[in-house]
Amino acid sequence: MSVNESLSRNCYHPADTNHIVLQASLSEQQRVLLEKICPAGLFSRDAAGRVNVHFQGCLECGCCRLVAGDTTLKAWRYPPTGAGITLRFG
Ligand code: SF4
C-alpha cells in the first residue's frame, strides 16, 4: 500500500481555525526544513515565496513542532475537540 493510499483511509474533521501558526519571518533554511519534515507534505510556498500550512490534512504527529521548534512555529496545538484526524489502520 502506498503512503497516499494509507493516508486516504484516515478521516478528517477540519477545524475552522489553523492550529499551527508560523512565525512572521522565516529564513530560507526554515522554509526548506518545513517542506521536508512534514510526512503529509502540508507546507508549501505561494507565488511570493511565503510558506503556507494546509492544516486541514494534519496528521497531528508533531514532527514540525519537534524539529522546527518555537523559532519557526509561533503556535502548535491540537485542533479543538471534535476536529482533527481519526486514524484508520489496515
Ligand atoms: S503535525 Fe505533522 S502532519 Fe501536522 S503539519 Fe506538523 S509535521 Fe505535518
The domain limits of the chain are 3-86
- Residue 90 pLDDT more than 80? no
Helix residue spans in 9-48 (DSSP H): 28-37
Q: Are 19 and 76 in contact (CB under 8 A)?
A: yes
Instruction: Please state, in angstroms and rounded to a whole number, the distance separating the CA atoms of residues 32 and 29.
Output: 5
- Residue 89 pLDDT more than 80? no
How many angstroms is it from 46 CA to the middle of ligand 1? 18
How many angstroms is it from 30 CA to the middle of ligand 1? 15
Helix residue spans in the chain (DSSP H): 3-8, 28-37, 63-68
pLDDT for position 20:
97
**DSSP-based three-state secondary structure for 56:** helix
The CATH architecture that domain 3-86 belongs to is: 2-Layer Sandwich (3.30)
Cell of 49: 515565496
pLDDT by residue (tens digit) across 22-61? Answer: 999 999 999 999 999 999 999 999 999 999 999 999 999 9
